Structure 1
C-alpha cells in the first residue's frame, strides 16, 4: 500500500500511538510502533488517496467508536470533527457515508494484523515474574455474539434452527487464545454457531499454531480429548484441563501412583476419530501417557465438590498436585476476559450489517481490548503490581476521561505529555480487583424483567396484524 502524503501518515500514526500511551519511554511503550503500523498497512493493496479518511484515520475513528458507550457511527464522526477543529483543521462533513465507505474499503487483514501484532508484542514483553513457573500459559475458550438481523448476516451466521425466520438474530461463535500473564488476546477465530467444523474444538485446532514449544495450554473439559492431547504433545505444548467425564472415567487404582489421588496412566486410542481419515488414524500411536489429579473443592457454597485435572505435565517434582489445582483455578480468568470484551466493550451484540464489516468490527474490538491491556500492564509495571490485580473496567473509564486531554494538549511538549501519562497510570493502578478466591453468589436475578412477551412472528407481520386489530400487543 502506498500513501500520497507520508508526513500526514506519520502524524496520524503518532496521534494513534499517543492515545494509548505508546511514547514517552514508558514500560511497554513500543507495543504499537510505527513498524507495527507499517507492517499492517502492507496488507492494503493499491494507492490510498490523501483524503480525510485515510487508513489510520479510519482505524482511529473505529477504535473510538468501539470504546465509547454510544457505538453509533454518527457519534464517531462527531468526535473526528471535534478533533479536527481543535487542531486548527477544516471540519469535515457530519454525514457518516464517507466513514462507512472507508471502513468497507479497508481489508479485514489490516484490522486483524494490527490486533494480532499488538497482542503478541505485549505478551512477548511481559515481566518474567508474571509467568507461571517460568512458562507462558495460554487460555482458550469460546463464546457467542449476535449480529443485526440482515439477509447477509443470516446467510453467513444463521440463527438457531428452532427459531422462526424474523424472530431471532444471526449468531456467531468466537474462540480466543488469551495470555494468562497479561490478558492479551494473541489469536482469535470465528465461525457459525452450528454445523460441521463450527465447534470450539475445531476453532482451537485452527488457532493453536500461535503456541510455541514449551508453552502451556489451559482449557475447559471440552478440549481434553485424546487427539488434542496427542497433537499438542507433538508440538511440545503442555496441556492442562479438566477431565471430560462424558468420554472417559477415572480409576485411581490403576497406573503409576504419584501421590494421593495423583497418578500417570495410558489412554488408549479411540476406536474412531472423526477429525482424521483412516490412513492417518492407523498411523497414530495406540496410547498416550497422561497424568490425572483429583482436586477437592472445600469452599462452602460451591456446586462442585471435586474435579479431575488432566495434564501432560508428568513430573510431580516439577509440578505438584497443588500447582495444578492452583493453575486450573486461574482458568476462570478466561471467563472474565471474555466478559470484559463482551460486556465492558459491548461486543455482545455487534452493529455492522454485512459479514465483512462484522469481522472488521470484531477485530477492532480485539485491538481496543489489547491496547487497554497494554495500559494496564504499563500501570502494573510502574507500580510493582500484577496486571491481573487491576480492574479492566476502571482502566477503560480512566482512559476515556484522559484521552480528550491528551488529544488537546499534545502540542505542549513531551514533558507535559509524560505528566499526563503518569497521572493516567496512577488512576488506572488505583482501581484494584479484590483477591476473592472463595467468593460465590446465588445464580438468581433480583431485578424483575419488563412485562413484554417474545417476538413469535416477523416484525412486519406483527405490525400488519396489529393494524388490522387481529392481535393486541
Structure 2
C-alpha cells in the first residue's frame, strides 16, 4: 500500500503536477495537510493521490470514476506493481474523506502564484484587474441536493434539477484564472454574493463588472478595500454630461449621493460605514462591432485620473471583460463539462466544482508557461487545445525518464504555443439551433409517477 501510494504520488506529480512544480510541490501539499490537521492511514488513496486523481478526472473527457481508477491501475502496472482492484468503491470513499477546505484553499493559492509570475508590464496600466461574474450549475436530482440547492421555483417537484449559483472573480491579466469562488443556492442574488467577495480585493486592485453591479453600494465597498471599480452604469441611473467637472466629451466627474434606504443584504451598521458621497467618473465608451451600429455605453469608475486612465484605455479594458467573463465561463461549463454534475450530495458537488476550478487554473498556468513561445499573445492560446495536448501527454510524462520527460514537456509547451486560435475579428454567428429536438414531450410529473403509469 505504502509503495503504491508513493509511486502514484510521484507519477501524478511528474505529469499532472508539472505545470505546478513551483506552486504545489509535494512538500507544500504535505505542509497544507499538516496545517489542516488532516491525518490518514496507510492506503493507496492518500489525500495527495486523491487530490491529483480528482484533478485528472476534472480534466478528462470521460469524467467517470471508473475511467480514473483504470488510469491508476494502468500506471501502477506500468511501474511493475500489483494494481489495486478496479472497483471504484475505494476511490469514491477517498473522495468523500478528502476535506473540502483543502480544495478551497488551493484555488486562491494557485491563482496568486500564477499572477505573481506575470511580468508587470503585461498588466493593464500596471494594475491587477479582477473581473466579477456569475453563472449557474446543475446537479443530480437527489433529495440531499434538493435540500441545499433547490430547483427553480417554476418547475414542478421532481421535474427539475437542483441548481447552484457560482460567483467568482478572476484575473483579467491571465484571461480567466479563477480565484475565490462562492457557491450559494440560485435564489441568492449574484450581486449580493459578489459583495461578499469584495473583502478579498487588495489595495490597488481594479474590479470590473457589468451593469448589474454598477451601484453606489458596490463602488463604496470596493473603495473601502483600497481598490478601484470600473462598472457599467446601472440603466436606472440618469447621466447628464453637461454637469460636473468635465474631462472631455462624454467624460466628467460628479458626486453621487448615498441611497436613503439600507439594502436588504446589509446590516444597519455596515450601511452606516459607507460614506455619504462618492466622487466618481462617468465615461461614455464607444463599442464597435462589424455589421452593427456602434454601441455607446456608460461606465462609472473611481479612476479619476483622465490622463493615466483615458477613455481609450477604459474602452480597451471593458472590451476585454466579455472575453474574460463570458467566454471563460463557457470554457468552464462546456469545455470542461461542468454544466451538469452527477454527484448525489451537496458536499461532493462542491468538491467537484472546486476540482474543476483547480483544473482550469492548472490549464491556465500551462498556457502561461507556453506564452513566451507565442510572444505573449495569450488571447490566441486555445484552452481546449491545451487540454487536448496535455491529456495526450500525461501517460508518457508519468512513466518516462527525467531526460525524456523534459523533452516531452518542452514539446508540449511548443505545441500549445503554435496551436493558435485563428484571427476572427468580429465573428458573427446567429443564435439559432439547426438540429431538431426529439419529438418527446417535456417531463411534467416525477419519474417515479411516470414509471408507475407505464407499469399499470
Provide closer, same or farther for how the CA distance between residues 48 and 280 of structure 1 changes in structure 2, counting only shifts above 3 A: closer
Corresponding residue number in structure 2 for 1:136: 128
Gaps spanning 5+ residues in structure 2: where? none
Corresponding residue number in structure 1 for 2:227: 237
Shift in Å, 1:175: 0.8
Native 8 Å contact 2:374 2:418 kept in 1: no
Q: Distance in 2 between matches of 1:91 and 1:57?
A: 15
Equivalence map 1:212-227=2 (5 Å): 212-227=202-217
Equivalence map 1:14-413=2 (5 Å): 14-20=10-16, 22=18, 29-42=21-34, 44-45=36-37, 47-182=39-174, 183-194=176-187, 198-246=188-236, 248-274=237-263, 275-302=265-292, 305-332=295-322, 333-409=324-400, 412-413=401-402
Shift in Å, 1:187: 1.4
Q: Distance in 2 between matches of 1:335 and 1:82?
A: 38
Q: Distance in 1 between matches of 2:286 and 2:321?
A: 16
Shift in Å, 1:199: 1.4
What's the TM-score, normalizing by structure 2?
0.94
* RMSD value, Cα: 2.0
Provide closer, same or farther for how the CA distance between residues 446 and 423 of structure 1 changes in structure 2, counting only shifts above 3 A: same
- Post-superposition CA distance 1:14-42 (Å, at most 9, x none): 4333214637xxxx741222343124323
Corresponding residue number in structure 2 for 1:450: 438
Q: Distance in 1 between matches of 2:200 and 2:4?
A: 34
Shift in Å, 1:304: 7.0
Q: Distance in 2 between matches of 1:320 and 1:435?
A: 27
Q: Distance in 2 between matches of 1:152 and 1:175?
A: 22
2:421 aligned counterpart, secondary structure: coil
What's the TM-score, normalizing by structure 1?
0.91
Shift in Å, 1:283: 4.7
1:335 aligned counterpart, secondary structure: helix
Native 8 Å contact 2:246 2:253 kept in 1: yes
Q: Distance in 1 between matches of 2:9 and 2:67?
A: 22
Q: Distance in 2 between matches of 1:447 and 1:141?
A: 30
Q: Distance in 1 between matches of 2:425 and 2:302?
A: 26
Provide closer, same or farther for how the CA distance between residues 426 and 280 of structure 1 changes in structure 2, counting only shifts above 3 A: closer
Q: Distance in 2 between matches of 1:215 and 1:81?
A: 46
What is the aligned length? 453
Segments ≥4 residues shifted beyond 6 Å? 7-10
2:436 aligned counterpart, secondary structure: coil
- Post-superposition CA distance 1:56-79 (Å, at most 9, x none): 111122122111111111111111
Shift in Å, 1:318: 0.5
Native 8 Å contact 1:20 1:375 kept in 2: no
Moved more, 35-44 or 391-400: 35-44
Shift in Å, 1:331: 0.2
Shift in Å, 1:186: 1.9
Corresponding residue number in structure 2 for 1:462: 450
2:183 aligned counterpart, secondary structure: strand
Shift in Å, 1:279: 4.7
